[in-house]
Amino acid sequence: MLPLPVLEEIQEELLNYRGSGMCVMEMSHRSKVFQTIIDEAEADLRSLMGIPENYKVLFVQGGATLQFAMIPINLMKFGVADYIVTGAWSEKAYKEATKFGEIKRLASSKDKNYTYIPDVSDLPVSDNADYVYICENETIHGTTYQRLPNTKGKVLVSDQSSMFLSKPCTVSDYGLIYGGVQKNVGPAGLAIVIIREDLIYPDVDSRTPIYLRFDTYSANESMYNTPNCWAIYVCGKVFKFLHNIGGLAEMQKINEEKATILYEFLDNSKMFTGTVAKEDRSVMNVPFVTESKELDAEVVAASKAAGFDNLKGHRSVGGLRASIYNAMPKEGVEALVAFLKDFEENYGK
């Protein structure tokens, strides 16, 4: 979802953005009008997150999946990286990285179907690792890190796609943060990369396509060619919206209130059970199950009939999953819980 006030403002500007006579989708990315849009978006994001001056903000096409390759291509000076695998997305990132260097699976929760975050306080980090990689919130499996791993001085890289801007973030704890924006911030087709300047190496493999180099984006302020102008514009609107509600601390408070409503129901239900260890539960993605796949399917069918979309769990894990991203109102979660309670109370009658 996107915040309703954002959608309404976009609607008002759709045919004529601020007197330009054009929709943002029609204007040149080299125009002064769009330059103002991207400059404001970056400034608002920096303010929201408290991004230090020695970090670059890059707007990169291709979504989060492209970063699975761009990160090892650009960051592996010694050809070594450590990955903590806690679900489907960190697993995919790990497999992609193996094409480009020596990649170590530092820790994993695969033994329990990725239902928890492993102990990351004292891991055998490689002495020559260029970075340690995590997916900080696993969208499909519904786990999140409550504390960051001890990387023993190595650069921490985090995929924050499904938790981006859901709570305050100390950017200086990371070397690189990235997120595909379509979960929490804007339309698909864009990733935001926040990278410490000293990690933008100019001496990557000369065969690397110029559009896959972080230094290309940095040197050209994300405007080497036509960027995803529409997504950047919408993200900028969302950044302002977050400022207007009180910033990321207020967003975190709202998100925790929403998640508590749903988790309290699941913890007291006799039909529905949360699948994630309580201490590692995501505030954004809540997977749960019934006693059987058949009953899961009945719940999904009933939810669609009742007007709820996308309650079916990801095809790779099954079950049910409620994604309650930033823009999902508290009333939406309350309505879902009311539906689930009613289904449980009346099933089989």
pLDDT tens for the chain, 349 residues long, are 999 999 999 999 999 999 999 999 999 999 999 999 999 999 999 999 999 999 999 999 999 999 999 999 999 999 999 999 999 999 999 999 999 999 999 999 999 999 999 999 999 999 999 999 999 999 999 999 999 999 999 999 999 999 999 999 999 999 999 999 999 999 999 999 999 999 999 999 999 999 999 999 999 999 999 999 999 999 999 999 999 999 999 999 999 999 999 999 999 999 999 999 999 999 999 999 999 999 999 999 999 999 999 999 987 788 999 999 999 999 999 999 999 999 999 997 7
The string of DSSP letters for 182-223 reads: TTTTS-SSEEEEEEEGGG--S-S-TTS-GGG-HHHHHHTTT-
- Topology classification of domain 4-244: Aspartate Aminotransferase; domain 2 (3.40.640)
Whether pTM > 0.85 for this model: the answer is yes
**Predicted pLDDT of residue 51:** 98
CATH 3.90.1150.10 matches 248-346 = yes
CA distance linking residue 170 with residue 150, whole number of Å: 15
Catalytic annotation on 159? yes
Which member of 44, 130, 159, 280 is catalytic? 159
Here the tokens at position 238 are 């969302």
CA distance linking residue 346 with residue 349, whole number of Å: 6
The string of DSSP letters for 153-182 reads: TSPEEEE-TTTTTSS---GGG-SEEEEETT
Which member of 44, 89, 130, 237 is catalytic? 89
Catalytic annotation on 130? no
CA distances from 194 to 40, 109, 237, 246 (A): 16, 27, 19, 22
Give Rg (Cα) of the chain. 21
Here the tokens at position 160 are 């924050």
Q: Are 158 and 194 in contact (CB under 8 A)?
A: no
Give which of 115, 119, 149, 147 is closest to 134, Cα–Cα.
Answer: 149
CA distances from 282 to 18, 85, 165, 318, 323 (A): 39, 16, 14, 17, 10
**Predicted pLDDT of residue 8:** 98
Q: Are 339 and 308 in contact (CB under 8 A)?
A: yes
Here the tokens at position 171 are 């950017």
Beta bridge partners of 196: 55
Q: Are 92 and 86 in contact (CB under 8 A)?
A: no
Beta-sheet pairing, 156-159 with 273-274: unpaired
**Predicted pLDDT of residue 174:** 98
**Predicted pLDDT of residue 289:** 96
DSSP helix/strand/coil, 334: helix
Catalytic annotation on 183? yes
CA distance linking residue 186 with residue 336, whole number of Å: 24
CA distance linking residue 343 with residue 195, whole number of Å: 47
Ordered by start, the domain boundaries in the chain are: 4-244, 248-346
**Predicted pLDDT of residue 70:** 98
Which residue matches tokens 């699975």? 68
Q: Spell 22-61 as b/e; 16+ CB within 10 A means b.
A: bebeebebeeeebeebbebbbebbbebbebeeebbbbbbb
Q: Are 311 and 300 in contact (CB under 8 A)?
A: yes
**Predicted pLDDT of residue 315:** 78
**Predicted pLDDT of residue 318:** 84
Which member of 183, 237, 258, 296 is catalytic? 183
CA distances from 162 to 44, 141, 156, 331 (A): 20, 12, 18, 21
